[in-house]
Amino acid sequence: MKINIIVVEDEARVRDSISSYIMELGSPFHLVGCASDGVEAIKLLEKNLTNIVLTDIEMPKMDGLHLIKQISERWPETKTVILSGYDRFEYVRQAMKFGVKDYLLKPIQKEELKGVLVNLSSHLRDHSKKHLSIMTNLEKWDMALIRLETKLFDAIDKGNTEEAKIALHMMLHEINHKVDHDHLRLLPFIVDSFISLRKRLTSFETVPDYFDQEWKKFLATLDPQDSFEIIEHKVCEFVIFCTTKVMECRKQSCPSVLFACQQFLQENYMKEISLQELAAIGGVAPSYLSRLFTKELGINYTDYLNQIRMEKAKELLAIPHIKVLEVASKVGFNNPHYFTRVFKKFTGMTAQEYQLERVGLS
């Protein structure tokens, strides 16, 4: 890990001396730049990722105390060290309020400077490792949660109650473990997931009304004082209701042949399936099936299949660090350029743009 350092000192001789010491120390210490006052230092900080700032207290334009205060507010991860005279204890005491990590008495001794920098670099490396570990664990958990949520929604889409119950059980236990069994933190995750489910149900005209009524009843029953088992039971009942209602609406809204074809596409969207192949599975003529799609769903077969694929693609693009090429392949596109065109047609943006926007909201 490279340790970037800025030296802020109005006395040129002292500034040059400290800079020379740092350059002599070599790796991992790197001198980003020098400043003669706080104003110059701020400009350097704005342009460079900086780990340590060594600063004098008494300087023109902006003194060390004001600089340290700004650093603590704008760059809280940056460590500050005071360069002070023996008679400046009061300044040092005030600076400590803003998180100053250490101080060096003038004239600066090379070994003392080295000791302070080595100590701070050790803290920075430890912090970096912990931060990386936390971020890695969070990313892994986010990915696991997205996969479980997707399994739950897919099971509800297919009307598979047993599969939905299994996916829900795994999802709730995963969340409960992550929030340390704190139900005040568990319930918001549940609410967020079912808000997403509400969006998935908008393709049915009758479900949203039923859903909203039951949703309000469901929310009213949730109590953070309940045991995890009771919360899971309430959520499970609601999932069963959603799954059953989806199936009822699908059966009511379209002929059985078309319904069977929709079910098949929901489960096999990643495969190359022509209209002729799908018609053979449904036991009807391709021309008849084509008319059914247009008449009952208001969309042709190709667009319907691509619509399913694009919804799945959007779910996959929410997974951190996944490549667009991989997403295209997973949803049935061998040609990534064609996938890009189709994705933009359905969403109004490229897959990369959607991915960046999704990352910004998370």
| Model pLDDT for residues 4-62, shown as the tens digit of each residue | 999 999 888 889 999 999 998 888 889 999 998 889 999 999 888 888 999 888 887 78
The CATH number given to 3-108 is: 3.40.50.2300
| Residue whose structure tokens are 């399994």 | 151
| Model pLDDT for residues 286-340, shown as the tens digit of each residue | 888 888 888 878 889 999 999 999 989 988 988 878 899 999 999 999 999 999 9
| Cβ atoms of residues 216 and 238 within 8 Å | no
Residue 213 has pLDDT above 70, yes or no: yes
Residue 83, classed as helix, strand or coil, is strand
Give the model's pLDDT for residue 326.
Answer: 94
Distance CA 76, CA 91 (A): 20
| Cβ atoms of residues 351 and 313 within 8 Å | yes
Give the model's pLDDT for residue 251.
Answer: 62
Distances, alpha carbon 289 to alpha carbons 211, 269, 303, in Å: 30, 17, 14
Give the model's pLDDT for residue 138.
Answer: 46
Give the model's pLDDT for residue 110.
Answer: 84
| Model pLDDT for residues 113-163, shown as the tens digit of each residue | 888 888 888 877 766 555 445 444 445 445 656 666 777 777 777 677 887
Give the model's pLDDT for residue 205.
Answer: 47
Domains 3-108 and 254-362 belong to one CATH topology: no
CB atoms within 10 A of CB 142: 14
- Give the bridge partners for 79, in sequence order: 52
| Model pLDDT for residues 61-97, shown as the tens digit of each residue | 787 788 888 888 888 888 888 887 645 555 655 666 6
| Model pLDDT for residues 181-195, shown as the tens digit of each residue | 777 777 777 777 777
Distance CA 90, CA 81 (A): 15
Residue 342 has pLDDT above 90, yes or no: yes
Give the model's pLDDT for residue 47.
Answer: 87
Identity at 173, one-letter amino acid code? H
| Model pLDDT for residues 219-278, shown as the tens digit of each residue | 888 887 888 888 888 888 888 887 787 777 666 655 678 888 888 999 999 999 999 999
Q: Which of 267, 266, 287 is nearest to 276 (CA)?
A: 287
Q: Which of 311, 329, 313, 322 is nearest to 359 (CA)?
A: 322
Q: Starting at the edge strand that comes first in sequence, how are the strands of the sheet with 52-56 ordered?
A: 29-35, 3-8, 52-56, 79-84, 102-105
**Long-range contacts of 74-80, Cβ-Cβ distance < 8 Å, separation of 24 or more:** 74/45, 75/45, 75/50, 77/51, 77/127, 78/45, 78/50, 78/51, 78/52, 78/53, 79/51, 79/52, 79/53, 79/120, 79/123, 79/124, 80/52, 80/53, 80/54, 80/55
Q: Which of 248, 239, 236 is nearest to 207 (CA)?
A: 248
pTM beyond 0.85, yes or no: no
| Peptide bond between residue 76 and the one before it cis (omega within 30 degrees of 0) | no
Domain residue spans in the chain?
3-108, 254-362
Give the model's pLDDT for residue 304.
Answer: 93
Q: How far from the centroid of its chain's Cα atoms is residue 268's Cα? A: 29
- Show Cβ contacts of residue 128 under 8 Å, excluding neighbours closer than 6 positions: 1
Give the model's pLDDT for residue 361.
Answer: 43
- The Cβ-side half-sphere exposure at 349, using a 13 Å CA radius, reads 11
Q: How far from the centroid of its chain's Cα atoms is residue 213's Cα? A: 31
Q: 254-362 belongs to which CATH class?
A: mainly alpha
Give the model's pLDDT for residue 134.
Answer: 41
CB atoms within 10 A of CB 100: 22
Q: Which of 41, 48, 47, 2 is nearest to 25 (CA)?
A: 2
| Residue whose structure tokens are 């392949």 | 329
Q: Which of 207, 291, 190, 215 is nearest to 246 (CA)?
A: 207
Residue 255, classed as helix, strand or coil, is coil
Distance CA 151, CA 200 (A): 13
DSSP track, 191-234: HHHHHHHHHHGGGSSSHHHHHHHHHHHHHHH--TTS-HHHHHHH
Identity at 92, one-letter amino acid code? V
| Residue whose structure tokens are 């650093």 | 71
Give the model's pLDDT for residue 309.
Answer: 94
Q: Which two tokens stand for residue 314?
A: 């959007």
Handedness of CA 351, 354, 359, 362 (dihedral sign): negative
